[in-house]
Amino acid sequence: MLRKEKYAAHQIKLAEEKQKTKKQKRVFVFGLLLLFVPPLLLFPAIPSTTWEYNLYQVIEQHLYISVGAKGPLPFFTMLSSLYTGIYVLIMSSYWAIQFIRSHGLGRRFQQQYYEIVFDHRSKHADKFPILDQPIFKKTCVSLLFIFCFMIGLFHFINDDISFASSSRRGQIFVLMYNTKLGVIVAEFLFSLIYVIPVFYFLFLFIYLINILRGLGAGQNTPLVVKQRRKKQQRNLDPQ
């Protein structure tokens, strides 16, 4: 009987995992379709009507987005830049909400944030102990995200990004920014570069506020502190 029950429980678990995998695949496919199909079907390469030209001027003069303006797909590149930025912002916001719903904004948040961002030991930490210091890690990671954010912002005003330079990097951008599919992929990657740092610093702000609140830095934050305290109180209570 026990074997049958274990087998049945195992089969149920496998079925749930398969269902979860199918759902994740559907979400992934839907995300890809949402990323590529609307721009490819709706965004023109160059403005051809009055309202398209007016929109082109608004994007370039008021939003200061001129990426690819001198290339073969100026209007498509600008619209794709806006679209992918909004797309990544929505997806990142959804992930951030799910993270907060799963871990809250207390001790579990501190521990999970520290493990994801800072809890990585360097190979050279034995020779250079400073590499393993929390403040050094936080500073390096923050500077890296600031650098990525600045690159993402700079690409908005790079109007000749479609042209080759003397480096291999230029050839890569020529291949990407001279085709619609390549533009979407490139702008999606740039959107990740400048959107993710925003959420990093938002979570870092919450992390630092929690430290000031006395919730710890996450390194040695036990998730069962309350349970241990309850057990200690029970042991101390008179019989």
Name the phi and psi angles at 49, rounded to 5.
-115, 170
Which range among 15-24, 30-39, 140-149 has the greatest average pLDDT? 30-39
CA-based max dimension of the chain: 86
Q: What is the pLDDT of residues 165-195, one digit of tens each?
A: 545 556 777 788 889 999 999 999 999 999 9
Q: What is the pLDDT of residues 184-227, one digit of tens each?
A: 999 999 999 999 999 999 998 998 898 888 887 776 544 444 44
> Would you give the DSSP letter of residue 163?
S
Confidence grade of residue 228 (pLDDT, cut at 50, 70, 90) = very low
- The residues, any chain, with a CB within 8 Å of residue 192's CB and separated by 6 or more, are 88
Instruction: Give the residue with greater pLDDT, 229 vs 46.
Output: 46
- The residues, any chain, with a CB within 8 Å of residue 118's CB and separated by 6 or more, are 134, 137, 138, 141, 218
CB 39 within 8 A of CB 184: yes
